[in-house]
Protein backbone atom coordinates (compact mmCIF):
# COMPACT_ATOMS: atom_id res chain seq x y z
CA UNK A 1 0.00 0.00 0.00
CA UNK A 2 2.85 2.39 0.85
CA UNK A 3 4.42 1.86 -2.58
CA UNK A 4 1.07 2.50 -4.24
CA UNK A 5 0.65 5.78 -2.39
CA UNK A 6 4.22 6.76 -3.26
CA UNK A 7 3.65 5.96 -6.93
CA UNK A 8 0.47 8.02 -6.89
CA UNK A 9 2.22 10.99 -5.30
CA UNK A 10 5.10 10.75 -7.79
CA UNK A 11 2.65 10.59 -10.70
CA UNK A 12 0.82 13.66 -9.47
CA UNK A 13 4.10 15.48 -8.93
CA UNK A 14 5.37 14.55 -12.40
CA UNK A 15 2.10 15.62 -13.98
CA UNK A 16 2.26 18.95 -12.16
CA UNK A 17 5.85 19.49 -13.28
CA UNK A 18 5.07 18.70 -16.92
CA UNK A 19 1.92 20.83 -17.14
CA UNK A 20 3.04 23.75 -14.99
CA UNK A 21 3.86 26.79 -17.11
CA UNK A 22 6.50 29.46 -16.69
CA UNK A 23 5.69 33.08 -17.51
CA UNK A 24 8.04 34.55 -20.09
CA UNK A 25 7.60 38.30 -20.57
CA UNK A 26 9.18 39.28 -23.90
CA UNK A 27 11.90 41.91 -23.94
CA UNK A 28 10.94 44.63 -26.42
CA UNK A 29 13.60 46.79 -28.06
CA UNK A 30 12.03 49.52 -30.16
CA UNK A 31 11.88 53.25 -30.72
CA UNK A 32 10.44 55.04 -27.63
CA UNK A 33 7.54 56.36 -29.69
CA UNK A 34 6.50 52.77 -30.54
CA UNK A 35 7.04 51.11 -27.17
CA UNK A 36 3.54 51.35 -25.69
CA UNK A 37 1.72 50.27 -28.85
CA UNK A 38 4.10 47.34 -29.45
CA UNK A 39 3.87 46.05 -25.89
CA UNK A 40 0.07 46.22 -26.09
CA UNK A 41 -0.08 43.72 -28.96
CA UNK A 42 2.66 41.25 -27.93
CA UNK A 43 1.35 38.88 -25.24
CA UNK A 44 3.25 37.18 -22.44
CA UNK A 45 4.50 33.75 -23.44
CA UNK A 46 3.54 30.91 -21.10
CA UNK A 47 5.88 27.98 -21.70
CA UNK A 48 5.39 24.48 -20.24
CA UNK A 49 8.15 23.98 -17.67
CA UNK A 50 9.55 20.94 -19.45
CA UNK A 51 10.12 23.10 -22.52
CA UNK A 52 12.42 25.48 -20.70
CA UNK A 53 14.94 23.05 -22.16
CA UNK A 54 15.52 24.41 -25.67
CA UNK A 55 16.59 20.99 -26.95
CA UNK A 56 13.44 19.28 -25.67
CA UNK A 57 11.30 22.00 -27.23
CA UNK A 58 13.18 21.70 -30.51
CA UNK A 59 12.62 17.94 -30.60
CA UNK A 60 8.95 18.31 -29.68
CA UNK A 61 8.55 21.05 -32.26
CA UNK A 62 10.03 18.93 -35.04
CA UNK A 63 7.73 16.01 -34.13
CA UNK A 64 4.59 18.12 -33.63
CA UNK A 65 1.65 18.05 -36.01
CA UNK A 66 -0.36 21.13 -36.93
CA UNK A 67 -3.78 19.84 -37.95
CA UNK A 68 -5.84 21.74 -40.49
CA UNK A 69 -9.45 22.69 -39.68
CA UNK A 70 -12.26 20.98 -41.61
CA UNK A 71 -12.90 22.18 -45.18
CA UNK A 72 -9.45 23.75 -45.43
CA UNK A 73 -6.75 22.85 -47.97
CA UNK A 74 -3.77 24.14 -49.92
CA UNK A 75 -3.85 25.03 -53.62
CA UNK A 76 -0.54 24.87 -55.48
CA UNK A 77 0.36 27.41 -58.15
CA UNK A 78 3.37 27.73 -60.44
CA UNK A 79 5.24 31.03 -60.66
CA UNK A 80 7.56 31.57 -63.61
CA UNK A 81 11.13 32.75 -63.03
CA UNK A 82 13.77 33.93 -65.47
CA UNK A 83 15.54 30.58 -65.26
CA UNK A 84 12.75 28.21 -64.28
CA UNK A 85 9.82 28.26 -61.91
CA UNK A 86 8.86 28.11 -58.28
CA UNK A 87 5.73 26.80 -56.57
CA UNK A 88 3.54 28.50 -54.01
CA UNK A 89 0.74 27.01 -51.90
CA UNK A 90 -2.33 29.15 -51.20
CA UNK A 91 -4.17 28.46 -47.94
CA UNK A 92 -7.79 27.92 -48.98
CA UNK A 93 -10.66 28.27 -46.51
CA UNK A 94 -14.44 28.51 -47.00
CA UNK A 95 -14.01 32.30 -46.71
CA UNK A 96 -11.25 32.60 -49.34
CA UNK A 97 -13.54 33.61 -52.20
CA UNK A 98 -15.17 36.35 -50.17
CA UNK A 99 -11.82 37.60 -48.88
CA UNK A 100 -10.56 37.83 -52.45
CA UNK A 101 -13.57 39.97 -53.40
CA UNK A 102 -12.84 42.24 -50.45
CA UNK A 103 -9.15 42.58 -51.44
CA UNK A 104 -8.16 41.42 -47.96
CA UNK A 105 -4.46 41.67 -47.06
CA UNK A 106 -2.10 38.87 -48.10
CA UNK A 107 0.78 37.33 -46.16
CA UNK A 108 3.63 35.89 -48.23
CA UNK A 109 5.53 33.36 -46.10
CA UNK A 110 8.81 31.50 -46.58
CA UNK A 111 9.93 28.42 -44.64
CA UNK A 112 13.29 27.47 -43.15
CA UNK A 113 16.18 25.36 -44.44
CA UNK A 114 15.11 22.00 -45.94
CA UNK A 115 11.49 22.84 -45.11
CA UNK A 116 8.51 23.40 -47.40
CA UNK A 117 5.35 25.48 -47.66
CA UNK A 118 3.22 23.17 -45.50
CA UNK A 119 5.57 22.71 -42.53
CA UNK A 120 3.88 22.61 -39.12
CA UNK A 121 4.93 26.17 -38.24
CA UNK A 122 3.71 27.39 -41.64
CA UNK A 123 0.34 25.76 -40.97
CA UNK A 124 0.26 27.44 -37.55
CA UNK A 125 0.75 30.79 -39.27
CA UNK A 126 -1.98 30.04 -41.80
CA UNK A 127 -4.53 29.07 -39.17
CA UNK A 128 -3.86 32.10 -36.98
CA UNK A 129 -3.73 34.59 -39.86
CA UNK A 130 -7.00 33.27 -41.30
CA UNK A 131 -8.74 34.12 -38.02
CA UNK A 132 -7.97 37.78 -38.74
CA UNK A 133 -9.15 37.64 -42.37
CA UNK A 134 -5.70 37.46 -43.96
CA UNK A 135 -5.07 35.46 -47.08
CA UNK A 136 -1.82 33.47 -46.97
CA UNK A 137 0.44 32.19 -49.72
CA UNK A 138 3.35 29.95 -48.69
CA UNK A 139 6.43 29.69 -50.89
CA UNK A 140 8.22 26.43 -51.60
CA UNK A 141 11.90 27.21 -52.07
CA UNK A 142 13.30 25.81 -55.30
CA UNK A 143 13.06 22.02 -55.32
CA UNK A 144 11.31 21.89 -51.94
CA UNK A 145 7.96 20.34 -51.05
CA UNK A 146 8.17 17.67 -53.74
CA UNK A 147 8.58 20.23 -56.53
CA UNK A 148 10.87 19.81 -59.52
CA UNK A 149 13.81 21.92 -60.62
CA UNK A 150 13.77 23.30 -64.16
CA UNK A 151 17.46 24.21 -64.04
CA UNK A 152 20.56 23.52 -61.98
CA UNK A 153 19.78 26.42 -59.66
CA UNK A 154 18.45 25.49 -56.25
CA UNK A 155 17.91 27.71 -53.23
CA UNK A 156 20.48 29.32 -50.99
CA UNK A 157 20.47 31.45 -47.84
CA UNK A 158 20.51 34.77 -49.69
CA UNK A 159 18.51 33.97 -52.80
CA UNK A 160 16.13 36.90 -52.52
CA UNK A 161 15.41 37.23 -56.24
CA UNK A 162 13.01 34.26 -56.10
CA UNK A 163 11.15 35.92 -53.23
CA UNK A 164 10.97 39.12 -55.28
CA UNK A 165 9.46 37.20 -58.20
CA UNK A 166 6.69 35.81 -55.98
CA UNK A 167 5.97 39.25 -54.50
CA UNK A 168 5.69 40.77 -57.97
CA UNK A 169 3.44 37.91 -59.10
CA UNK A 170 1.08 38.25 -56.13
CA UNK A 171 1.07 42.04 -56.47
CA UNK A 172 0.16 41.83 -60.17
CA UNK A 173 -2.59 39.30 -59.46
CA UNK A 174 -4.08 41.26 -56.55
CA UNK A 175 -2.98 44.88 -57.05
CA UNK A 176 -5.54 46.24 -54.56
CA UNK A 177 -4.41 44.02 -51.68
CA UNK A 178 -1.87 45.03 -49.04
CA UNK A 179 1.08 42.63 -48.81
CA UNK A 180 3.00 41.49 -45.74
CA UNK A 181 5.98 39.16 -45.40
CA UNK A 182 6.76 36.46 -42.83
CA UNK A 183 9.95 34.40 -42.77
CA UNK A 184 11.10 31.53 -40.59
CA UNK A 185 14.78 30.71 -39.94
CA UNK A 186 16.59 30.67 -43.31
CA UNK A 187 13.42 32.06 -44.88
CA UNK A 188 13.64 34.96 -42.42
CA UNK A 189 17.20 35.63 -43.60
CA UNK A 190 16.08 35.67 -47.23
CA UNK A 191 13.15 37.98 -46.42
CA UNK A 192 15.31 40.33 -44.33
CA UNK A 193 17.87 40.57 -47.13
CA UNK A 194 15.15 41.21 -49.69
CA UNK A 195 13.56 44.00 -47.63
CA UNK A 196 16.91 45.74 -47.19
CA UNK A 197 17.80 45.44 -50.86
CA UNK A 198 14.55 46.98 -52.07
CA UNK A 199 13.78 49.49 -49.31
CA UNK A 200 10.54 51.38 -50.01
CA UNK A 201 10.19 49.51 -53.34
CA UNK A 202 9.72 46.12 -51.67
CA UNK A 203 5.93 46.22 -52.40
CA UNK A 204 5.16 45.27 -48.79
CA UNK A 205 3.68 47.19 -45.87
CA UNK A 206 5.25 45.21 -43.01
CA UNK A 207 7.10 42.00 -42.16
CA UNK A 208 8.02 39.61 -39.34
CA UNK A 209 11.23 37.57 -39.06
CA UNK A 210 11.17 34.52 -36.77
CA UNK A 211 14.45 32.91 -35.62
CA UNK A 212 16.50 34.71 -38.26
CA UNK A 213 20.13 33.49 -38.41
CA UNK A 214 20.99 37.05 -39.50
CA UNK A 215 24.77 36.47 -39.51
CA UNK A 216 25.55 33.15 -41.19
CA UNK A 217 29.11 33.17 -39.86
CA UNK A 218 27.82 33.24 -36.28
CA UNK A 219 25.28 30.48 -36.90
CA UNK A 220 27.92 28.33 -38.62
CA UNK A 221 30.26 28.68 -35.64
CA UNK A 222 27.41 27.87 -33.25
CA UNK A 223 26.64 24.66 -35.12
CA UNK A 224 30.14 23.35 -34.46
CA UNK A 225 30.59 24.77 -30.95
CA UNK A 226 29.78 21.60 -28.96
CA UNK A 227 29.63 17.87 -29.45
CA UNK A 228 25.83 18.07 -29.34
CA UNK A 229 25.71 20.76 -32.02
CA UNK A 230 28.11 18.91 -34.31
CA UNK A 231 26.70 15.42 -33.94
CA UNK A 232 22.99 16.09 -33.51
CA UNK A 233 21.85 19.44 -34.91
CA UNK A 234 24.49 20.01 -37.59
CA UNK A 235 24.48 16.39 -38.71
CA UNK A 236 20.67 16.27 -38.87
CA UNK A 237 20.39 19.39 -41.01
CA UNK A 238 23.18 18.14 -43.28
CA UNK A 239 21.33 14.85 -43.79
CA UNK A 240 18.16 16.77 -44.60
CA UNK A 241 20.04 18.86 -47.17
CA UNK A 242 21.22 15.65 -48.82
CA UNK A 243 17.62 14.38 -48.86
CA UNK A 244 16.53 17.65 -50.49
CA UNK A 245 19.12 17.14 -53.22
CA UNK A 246 18.40 13.43 -53.77
CA UNK A 247 15.49 13.78 -56.26
CA UNK A 248 17.42 16.45 -58.18
CA UNK A 249 20.60 14.49 -58.80
CA UNK A 250 20.01 14.26 -62.54
CA UNK A 251 19.69 18.07 -62.71
CA UNK A 252 22.91 18.72 -60.79
CA UNK A 253 24.78 15.69 -62.14
CA UNK A 254 27.22 17.57 -64.38
CA UNK A 255 27.93 20.34 -61.88
CA UNK A 256 28.05 18.79 -58.42
CA UNK A 257 30.44 16.10 -57.18
CA UNK A 258 27.99 13.78 -55.42
CA UNK A 259 30.75 11.71 -53.87
CA UNK A 260 31.75 14.81 -51.91
CA UNK A 261 28.12 15.68 -51.15
CA UNK A 262 27.50 12.19 -49.77
CA UNK A 263 30.64 12.42 -47.65
CA UNK A 264 29.71 15.80 -46.14
CA UNK A 265 29.13 15.69 -42.38
CA UNK A 266 28.47 19.40 -41.72
CA UNK A 267 26.41 22.16 -43.31
CA UNK A 268 29.60 24.01 -44.20
CA UNK A 269 30.98 20.97 -46.05
CA UNK A 270 27.69 20.61 -47.92
CA UNK A 271 27.78 24.31 -48.83
CA UNK A 272 31.33 23.93 -50.13
CA UNK A 273 30.33 21.18 -52.56
CA UNK A 274 26.85 22.47 -53.49
CA UNK A 275 26.88 26.27 -53.25
CA UNK A 276 30.27 26.97 -54.83
CA UNK A 277 29.84 24.97 -58.07
CA UNK A 278 26.16 25.92 -58.51
CA UNK A 279 26.60 29.61 -57.65
CA UNK A 280 30.04 30.64 -58.97
CA UNK A 281 29.48 34.26 -57.90
CA UNK A 282 30.75 33.17 -54.47
CA UNK A 283 34.52 32.70 -54.24
CA UNK A 284 34.37 30.51 -51.14
CA UNK A 285 32.00 29.55 -48.32
CA UNK A 286 32.97 32.56 -46.20
CA UNK A 287 32.23 34.85 -49.13
CA UNK A 288 28.85 33.15 -49.52
CA UNK A 289 28.04 33.60 -45.82
CA UNK A 290 29.07 37.26 -45.88
CA UNK A 291 27.13 38.21 -48.99
CA UNK A 292 24.02 36.21 -47.98
CA UNK A 293 23.73 37.35 -44.36
CA UNK A 294 20.72 39.60 -43.78
CA UNK A 295 22.58 41.51 -41.05
CA UNK A 296 24.23 43.41 -43.90
CA UNK A 297 20.81 44.66 -45.06
CA UNK A 298 18.48 44.94 -42.02
CA UNK A 299 19.39 48.57 -41.31
CA UNK A 300 18.25 49.46 -44.83
CA UNK A 301 14.71 48.12 -44.32
CA UNK A 302 12.21 50.97 -44.67
CA UNK A 303 8.90 49.31 -43.74
CA UNK A 304 7.72 48.28 -40.23
CA UNK A 305 9.69 45.17 -39.26
CA UNK A 306 9.30 42.91 -36.23
CA UNK A 307 12.19 40.56 -35.40
CA UNK A 308 11.19 37.73 -33.02
CA UNK A 309 13.96 35.66 -31.45
CA UNK A 310 14.48 33.38 -28.48
CA UNK A 311 17.48 33.78 -26.20
CA UNK A 312 17.79 30.00 -25.94
CA UNK A 313 17.81 29.41 -29.72
CA UNK A 314 20.28 26.49 -30.15
CA UNK A 315 20.81 27.14 -33.87
CA UNK A 316 20.77 30.91 -34.42
CA UNK A 317 22.45 32.74 -31.50
CA UNK A 318 20.71 35.80 -30.12
CA UNK A 319 24.06 37.63 -30.33
CA UNK A 320 23.63 37.84 -34.11
CA UNK A 321 20.68 40.23 -33.64
CA UNK A 322 22.11 43.65 -32.78
CA UNK A 323 20.20 46.32 -30.84
CA UNK A 324 22.02 48.86 -32.97
CA UNK A 325 19.56 48.43 -35.85
CA UNK A 326 16.78 49.75 -33.60
CA UNK A 327 18.84 52.81 -32.70
CA UNK A 328 19.33 53.52 -36.39
CA UNK A 329 15.76 52.83 -37.57
CA UNK A 330 12.49 53.70 -35.83
CA UNK A 331 10.61 51.20 -38.02
CA UNK A 332 12.35 48.12 -36.55
CA UNK A 333 11.31 46.31 -33.37
CA UNK A 334 13.10 43.38 -31.74
CA UNK A 335 11.12 40.99 -29.53
CA UNK A 336 13.24 38.63 -27.44
CA UNK A 337 11.83 35.80 -25.35
CA UNK A 338 13.78 33.82 -22.77
CA UNK A 339 12.41 30.54 -24.09
CA UNK A 340 11.15 29.34 -27.45
CA UNK A 341 14.06 27.39 -28.97
CA UNK A 342 14.21 27.63 -32.77
CA UNK A 343 10.94 28.33 -34.65
CA UNK A 344 8.92 26.71 -31.85
CA UNK A 345 7.46 28.77 -29.00
CA UNK A 346 5.25 25.83 -28.06
CA UNK A 347 2.67 26.54 -25.37
CA UNK A 348 1.27 23.03 -25.10
CA UNK A 349 2.61 19.51 -24.58
CA UNK A 350 0.20 18.11 -27.16
CA UNK A 351 2.50 17.37 -30.11
CA UNK A 352 -0.44 15.79 -31.97
CA UNK A 353 -2.15 19.15 -32.20
CA UNK A 354 0.57 21.79 -32.19
CA UNK A 355 -0.13 25.06 -30.42
CA UNK A 356 2.31 27.97 -30.53
CA UNK A 357 2.53 31.30 -28.70
Q: What is the pLDDT of residues 191-211, one digit of tens each?
A: 999 999 999 999 999 999 999
Residue 120: closest CA among 104, 138, 134: 138
Q: What does the pLDDT read at residue 6?
A: 54
When pLDDT is averaged across residues 73-86 and rounded to a whole number, the result is 93
Do residues 164 and 36 both lie within one domain?
yes
Of the two residues 77 and 12, the one the predictor is more confident about is 77
39 confidence band (pLDDT: 50, 70, 90): confident
- Say how far apart CA 2 and CA 114 lie, in whole Å: 52
**pLDDT score, position 330:** 83
Q: Are residues 71 and 197 in the same domain?
A: yes
User: What secondary structure letter does DSSP report for 234?
Assistant: I
Q: What is the pLDDT of residues 273-320, one digit of tens each?
A: 999 999 999 999 999 999 999 998 998 999 999 999 999 999 998 877
Q: What does the radius of gyration of the chain's CA atoms come to, in whole angstroms?
A: 21
- CA–CA distance, 72 with 128 (Å, rounded to integer): 13
Overall size of the chain counted in residues: 357
287 and 148 in one domain? no
Arithmetic mean of pLDDT over the chain: 92
CATH of the domain at 306: 3.40.50.1820
Contact, 214 vs 223, CB < 8 A? no
pTM beyond 0.75: the answer is yes
Say if residue 83's pLDDT is above 90.
no
**CA atoms 184, 208, 154, 118: torsion sign:** positive
Q: Give residues with Cβ within 8 angstroms of 197, minimum separation 6.
A: 160, 297, 300
- pLDDT reading at 25 higher than 60: yes
Q: Which domain holds residue 231?
A: 216-292
Helix (H, G, I), strand (E, B) or coil at 86: strand
**What pLDDT shows up at residue 2?**
56
Residue 321 lies in a domain: yes
Q: Left if phi > 0, otherwise alpha if psi is -120 to 50, otherwise beta: which for 143?
A: left
Answer whether residue 17 shows pLDDT above 60. Answer: no
Residue 351 falls inside a structural domain = no
174 and 225 co-located in one domain: no
* Structural domains of the chain, count: 2
Task: Tell me the mean pLDDT in the region 346-353.
Answer: 93
Query: Would residue 2 count as lying in a domain?
Result: no
Would you say residue 268 has pLDDT above 60? yes
Task: Judge if 43 and 192 occupy the same domain.
Answer: yes
- Residue 139 CA to residue 155 CA, distance in Å, equals 12
Catalytic residues: 185, 313, 342
Amino acid sequence: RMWGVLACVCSIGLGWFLTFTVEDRPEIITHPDNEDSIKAIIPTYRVPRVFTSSLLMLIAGSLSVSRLPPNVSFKREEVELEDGFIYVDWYITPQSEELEKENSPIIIALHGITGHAQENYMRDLCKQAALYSFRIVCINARGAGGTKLASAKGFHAGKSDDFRSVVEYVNSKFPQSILFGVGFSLGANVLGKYLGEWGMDCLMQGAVLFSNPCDLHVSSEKMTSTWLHRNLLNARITDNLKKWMQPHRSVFGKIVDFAMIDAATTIREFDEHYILPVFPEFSDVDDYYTKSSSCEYISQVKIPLLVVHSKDDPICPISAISNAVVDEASNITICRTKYGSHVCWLNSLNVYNRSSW
